[in-house]
């Protein structure tokens, strides 16, 4: 289950609206949706959250390119909207990306490859944590944060604070931005 909302900055504070992502297929579509919600080309922050698995923050300032942060790229890549954002952040072309969730390797193994043996303690000539760097091979999204962690720094959420968030991260961000009540009204 997803929750998505747009927060548009105004002279009087923030205005929030929940948003339907049904027609959003690319980051450009999401940025266009955010720009439509903008007041006088001011900042719009889009939130996407999938039930404590991951959250994404997309910031659009006028006609500037959108800035994106994902809390957990590997988890996000397992969902349609998260995959759209991870593909954009990793510079993948739409033709290179999986077209639907059925084609994604969600268990981390290649077709025909056996599941890894958790009791296999062989040293495979790599650092112990190297297996945590990516899923689905070396070109998959990393486990953990991906994107511009400083995208909200000038709005009161430092890079370190954003990277440390878990649980109900969107409420914490909204509290820092001073718009908790506005966001909760659309939840």
Which segment of 20-24, 31-35, 95-99 scores lowest on mean pLDDT?
95-99
77-98 b/e with 16+ CB inside 10 Å = b?
bbbebbbbbbbbbbeeeeeebe
163-185 b/e with 16+ CB inside 10 Å = b?
eebeeebbebbbebbebbebbee
Q: Is the pLDDT of residue 166 over 90?
A: no
Judge residue 162's burial from the number of C-beta atoms within 10 Å of its C-beta, 0-12 exposed, 13-18 middle, 19 or more buried: buried
| Mean pLDDT value of segment 79-104 | 71
pLDDT bucket at 142, cuts 50 / 70 / 90? confident
What the block records as the tokens of 66 is: 């959108």
CA dist 159 and 102 (Å) reads: 34
The count of other CB atoms within 10 Å of the CB of residue 135 is 22
pLDDT bucket at 167, cuts 50 / 70 / 90? confident
Judge residue 47's burial from the number of C-beta atoms within 10 Å of its C-beta, 0-12 exposed, 13-18 middle, 19 or more buried: buried
Contact 80, 92 (CB under 8 A): no
DSSP H or E run through 184? helix 180-186
pLDDT bucket at 61, cuts 50 / 70 / 90? very high
Is pLDDT larger for residue 151 or for residue 52?
A: 151
* Percent of the chain residues past pLDDT 70, beyond the cut: 75
């Amino acid at each position: 289950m997803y929750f998505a909302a747009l927060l548009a900055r105004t002279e009087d504070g923030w205005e929030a609206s929940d948003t339907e992502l049904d027609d959003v297929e690319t980051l450009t579509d999401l940025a266009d949706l955010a720009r439509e919600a903008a007041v006088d080309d001011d900042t719009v922050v889009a939130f996407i959250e999938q039930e404590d698995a991951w959250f994404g923050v997309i910031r659009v300032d006028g006609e500037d390119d959108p800035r994106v942060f994902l809390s957990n790229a590997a988890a996000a890549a397992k969902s349609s909207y998260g995959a759209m954002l991870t593909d954009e952040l990793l510079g993948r072309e739409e033709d290179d990306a999986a077209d639907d969730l059925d084609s994604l390797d969600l268990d981390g193994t290649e077709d025909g490859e056996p599941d890894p043996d958790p009791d296999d303690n062989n040293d495979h000539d790599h650092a112990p944590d190297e297996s945590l760097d990516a899923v689905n091979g070396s070109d998959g999204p990393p486990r953990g944060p991906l994107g511009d962690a400083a995208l909200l720094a000038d709005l009161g959420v430092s890079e370190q604070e954003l990277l440390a968030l878990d649980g109900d991260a969107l409420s914490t961000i909204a509290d820092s931005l001073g718009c908790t009540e506005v966001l909760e009204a659309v939840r």
